[in-house]
Structure 1
């Protein structure tokens, strides 16, 4: 099964160009080589210019489950149309649990995957109501879903999340909440987390990553959260694995950095802050790839690159 996680960059340069205009304006043939100005536009462009390239990447690479971060309601709606009836999606706006603010949306192939249940939680001290962690730059959420493969019946949990870029304590709590959620979900099967952590694997702001992977202990989570997500004694030591780290070396490909910004290649402040994490039994890493967000004849699709992971799921768990 192929997972994809991608921070889309929110619709910061909003316009009113309808999706039908973007589709109808696509050229019928390739341009002549001499007419292409290669890598000519490193700067941010409106979502109406970027959305076709995003959909193309998802469709060409045949992702089964996609976690999009930072998507506003217009972006989610556009992608639902571009990806077609073969995909369904879940998610909520982070500001009110409705349609306001950024979504951490999960799209999935509905011919292959069955959705059993889903919900949104807030990565704060009050995780079940719309809220922001004190000192954080933004309201932060996670969308989580119980799913199963239609052919084999294998069940699993998927989480799509986006942590704060300013507050390290917020990232520590985010990681601790997800570790608790993951441990509680193990009876259902393996757990996969897709997201922009804003926390690299090393450096002064890596504590969220280190909690997820067991290199640091979790911080205390709210009692209401612990009550809703009880953990068996046998699962108390649960931690996640960074799938990129355990993928066979021949199966790792593409870029290293997942964040690029909107800059010329030589000026990019590259970081690996977008991850696919997995925990529990019943999965095996196969391939990992950091893909392209900037093709030579188009604008930058996002300030993050797409991250793909292929795993083999057990036929029973």
Structure 2
């Protein structure tokens, strides 16, 4: 299956000429063209994730907005192809000492969440978990605590050894302690390192600036040790010399092994 993480940038009127109305069709078509089966979005507001659902009719999504646990604020939505996968269970928890309701954790600047889904492959009955998150952009402690919290949740939910995928904008690059906590855990590995074929000629954050580049990867896909990673790519698609978002989508082609 093809899995991806994509920070689609919230609908910010100050982004002109890169505001959502100019980008939304490109974002939807990019997802169609690259054939994602499952993807996690970050920053999308309610009308943005609803737009993707409408224009990607084979997809359904789960998740709630971070500010009120309903529709106010940004989502970390999990989209899945409903023709290929059946939803068994899902929920959202806050990255905080109180995971059950909207609040700000540790030294974070904003409420942060992780949405998860337990899915079943309709074709073969295989079950697995997908987690999608967006770490804080300010709080150093919050990012490390969030990484440990998610690892603990993964241990809790996947006690029966089901494969796990963790998608997200982690706001830390591959040299950060919070990244190392995930990459060096016994539960997860970075698809960038594990892939048999890697196509990643850039970092993942572009600031909508086509003249700059970086090797910093702040958007990551982690998978459990049993998952085989065939391909990994950072997709630097453009349209009329612009980027569809201020982050590049990251994609991995994986095979689940039980």
**TM class, shorter-chain normalised?**
over 0.9
CA apart distance, 1:246? 1.1
CA apart distance, 1:293? 4.4
2-structure distance, mates of 1:159, 1:308: 15
Q: Which 5+ residue runs of structure 2 have no aligned equivalent?
A: none
* Residues 285-317 of structure 1 deviation map (CA, whole Å, 9 limit, x = unaligned): 10001002423x253211100101000123xx3
Q: TM-score, normalised by structure 2?
A: 0.94
SS for the counterpart of 1:53 is: helix
CA contact (8 A) 2:4 2:36 kept: yes
1-structure distance, mates of 2:216, 2:10: 19
CA apart distance, 1:255? 2.6
CA contact (8 A) 2:18 2:208 kept: no
Match of 1:253 in 2: 199
The answer as to 2:249 corresponding to 1:279 is: no
Match of 2:38 in 1: 65
2-structure distance, mates of 1:177, 1:259: 25
What is the 5 A alignment of 1:74-85? Answer: 74-84=47-57
Structure 2 vs 1, CA of residues 259 and 43 (structure 1 numbering), >3 Å: closer, same or farther?
A: farther
2-structure distance, mates of 1:303, 1:172: 24
Q: TM-score, normalised by structure 1?
A: 0.77
Match of 1:225 in 2: none
Aligned equivalent of 2:167, options 194, 206, 230? 194
Match of 2:246 in 1: 303
CA contact (8 A) 1:114 1:149 kept: yes
The answer as to 2:86 corresponding to 1:114 is: yes
Structure 2 vs 1, CA of residues 58 and 9 (structure 1 numbering), >3 Å: closer, same or farther?
A: same
What is the 5 A alignment of 1:1-317? Answer: 1-13=1-13, 45-84=18-57, 86-184=58-156, 185-187=158-160, 189-202=162-175, 206-214=176-184, 238-248=186-196, 251-265=197-211, 267-268=212-213, 271-281=216-226, 283-295=227-239, 297=240, 299-314=242-257, 317=258
Structure 2 vs 1, CA of residues 7 and 68 (structure 1 numbering), >3 Å: closer, same or farther?
A: same
SS for the counterpart of 1:208 is: helix
2-structure distance, mates of 1:161, 1:306: 14
CA contact (8 A) 1:213 1:241 kept: yes
SS for the counterpart of 1:52 is: helix
Structure showing greater Rg:
1
Any runs of at least 4 consecutive aligned residues in structure 1 with deviations exceeding 3 A, and if so which? 267-270
2-structure distance, mates of 1:12, 1:194: 23
